[in-house]
Amino acid sequence: MRHLGPWWGRGALALLGALLMLGAAPIAEQAGPVGPAVSPLGPEACLNLPVSGALIAPASCWVTGPTSVLIVGADPRAVMDGAAVIVDGQHARKLTLPGSGAMRIHRVASRHACISDFTGTFDLDLAGARAVPVGNSTCPGAAPARGSGFAAASQEIIATTQATGGMPSPASSYYVFGAFLASCGPTATSGCPLYVDGADEPSPSGGPLVVLDFGAPCFVPPTTGAPIYGTQLFNTTTCTTDDQLLPLAQAFARGYQSTHGAGSPLAIIALGTSNSLNGVNTGHALTGPQMHDSGQAWFTNLVQPFAASLAGPALIVPWAANDIEGSSSGNFYDPTLTTPWVDGYGSAAATSLGGTKFCAGNDPYRMADYGDDVLTNGWTDSLYYQVAWGAPVACAVPEIYVTANATQWQRTSQWGVSNGKGPITFTGPMSLGGEAGTLSWQDSWNA
């Protein structure tokens, strides 16, 4: 779960003194048909995961249900420690095994997983998030775990917003799973998890900022003409095009309007993707020009139509969002392939942006960078600064899961000051709200 933490507001100090990757070869075709295809139970490539790279360096992944997945590997903060993250709907639990090194999944059955490291084999209880050493012969059998259906809600990403003085309360944001498509049509209400999430969304005094994370960018090659862009929804094996994502976003907004009236604080709903490689296209990656076109299409085919469809008494401001992460794992695009997406979205949105960038309040069509700031895979302070704040469309909503994240973003903001570009004004931090051993949302705000 991620929390998009409290907003910093327009006069913030930009963290000065405070506060699931490489580009790959070009691709020519898409593997599999367009539209939703929920991932089968069993092992899968560790790409486009509903968990932050700040929690785990994944080595082995296993789909356990329509909205659940087991991810094991190493702890990115201590690579000699093994880690397992159990994702169930909008919640994640993390288990760390000190000194075990990166772990692997061998099989899953009856809500138990057989995992191993260089020291031996463990039986991981998925329900209780407990691991005990066992012999390999006593590990679970090879039958796949039964899925438990999808949970209607809660917080896989969580957000908050700006208040006049003091610390605001958090609001919630969400990973969007492919299983939602079947029940979230144009008129769906309480049978759609996203509608329920929208209806249950809190309304902090400063107004919520909600991110709907639709997964990694991908495309469907048409018979003739340009590719059709979209994302790989979580726990799917195909590319869901931008126009197919629109009803999902609308379902959330419809639910929100059902419980929020004209007196509700202004809400920002940001439609998000990431710079993760996908598990759909050949080579798992888009080229630079394709990333640029994907960003343009995100505005033209999703964010702008979403804005045009908004109706109801509560005021909603539409944004885009991108979970931009730096990683040496080979599972995320480097800056030469990530920046074109930001530029593409910015060029399409340019004529719709207001003259002054506030990154809060009634400032539609901005793009929230809600990723990390790790200097690896070609990323530098200048490059992070550009995609998080320097680009006219960009607003910084950084992951602050551990105190080191605050230090990293402070460094990048200070780079802006030292190079005559000014500090970053942060909209607010992403927080996991204390899940999986991370900072509470209060500590994310104060870090």
pLDDT tens-place string over residues 390-441: 999 999 999 999 999 999 999 999 999 999 999 999 999 999 888 878 899 8
Q: Are residues 104 and 240 in the same domain?
A: no
pLDDT at 24: 27
In this prediction the pTM is 0.88
- Is the pLDDT at 101 greater than 60? The verdict is yes
Q: Are residues 240 and 158 in the same domain?
A: yes
Element (H or E) spanning 116, and its range?
strand 112-117
Q: How far is Cα 79 from Cα 359, in angstroms, rounded to an integer?
A: 36
Q: Are residues 312 and 219 in the same domain?
A: yes
Residue 25 lies in a domain: no
Residue 245 lies in a domain: yes
Q: 350: helix, coil or strand?
A: helix
Q: Are residues 15 and 83 in the same domain?
A: no
Distances (CA, A) of 124 to 43, 77, 108, 109, 305: 16, 22, 9, 10, 45
Beta bridge partner(s), residue 218: 230
C-alpha triplet 180, 186, 314: angle, nearest 5°: 95
Q: Considering 138, 166, 191, which residue would you say is the last residue of a domain?
A: 138
Q: How far is Cα 48 from Cα 296, in angstroms, rounded to an integer?
A: 21
pLDDT at 225: 83
Residue 34 lies in a domain: no
Q: Are residues 132 and 154 in the same domain?
A: no
pLDDT at 167: 67
Q: Are residues 266 and 133 in the same domain?
A: no
238 neighbors 37 (Cβ within 8 angstroms): yes
Segment 342-363 shows an average pLDDT of 96
Residue 308 lies in a domain: yes
pLDDT at 157: 33
Q: Considering 138, 173, 208, which residue would you say is the last residue of a domain?
A: 138
231 neighbors 171 (Cβ within 8 angstroms): no
For helices 335-349 and 288-298, give the axis angle rounded to 10 degrees.
30
Query: Who contacts 159 (Cβ-Cβ below 8 Å, separation ≥6)?
Result: 3, 4, 5, 170, 171, 172, 173, 208, 209, 210, 211, 428, 430
pLDDT digits (tens, 9 = 90+) for 208-264: 999 999 999 999 988 888 899 999 999 999 999 999 999 999 999 999 999 999 999
Residue length of the chain? 447
Q: Are residues 185 and 132 in the same domain?
A: no
Q: 60: helix, coil or strand?
A: strand
Residue 37 lies in a domain: no
Residue 144 lies in a domain: no
Q: Are residues 253 and 189 in the same domain?
A: yes
Q: Considering 110, 138, 166, which residue would you say is the last residue of a domain?
A: 138
Q: How far is Cα 305 from Cα 88, in angstroms, rounded to an integer?
A: 31
Q: Are residues 369 and 421 in the same domain?
A: yes
Residue ranges of alpha helices (H) inside 209-287 are 242-259
Distances (CA, A) of 437 to 10, 41, 54, 93, 407: 30, 28, 11, 9, 18
Residue 240 lies in a domain: yes
Q: Are residues 132 and 195 in the same domain?
A: no
Do the strands 91-97 and 104-109 form a parallel or antiparallel pair, or are they unpaired? unpaired
Q: Are residues 134 and 165 in the same domain?
A: no
Quote the mean pLDDT of the chain: 86
Q: 171: helix, coil or strand?
A: strand
C-alpha triplet 258, 261, 264: angle, nearest 5°: 120
**Nearest Cα residue to 64 out of 143, 180, 173:** 143
What is the domain range of residue 56? Answer: 42-138
Into how many domains does the chain fold? Answer: 2
- Is the pLDDT at 143 greater than 60? The verdict is no
Torsion of CA 294, 299, 302, 304, to 10 degrees: -170
Q: Are residues 134 and 155 in the same domain?
A: no
136 neighbors 55 (Cβ within 8 angstroms): no
Residue 286 lies in a domain: yes
Distances (CA, A) of 44 to 279, 311, 347, 406: 9, 40, 35, 33
- Is the pLDDT at 137 greater than 80? The verdict is no
**Nearest Cα residue to 214 out of 252, 168, 256:** 252
- Please return the burial class of 271, using the count of CB atoms within 10 Å of its CB with bins 0-12, 13-18 and 19+: buried
Beta bridge partner(s), residue 219: 229
pLDDT at 140: 64
Q: 341: helix, coil or strand?
A: helix
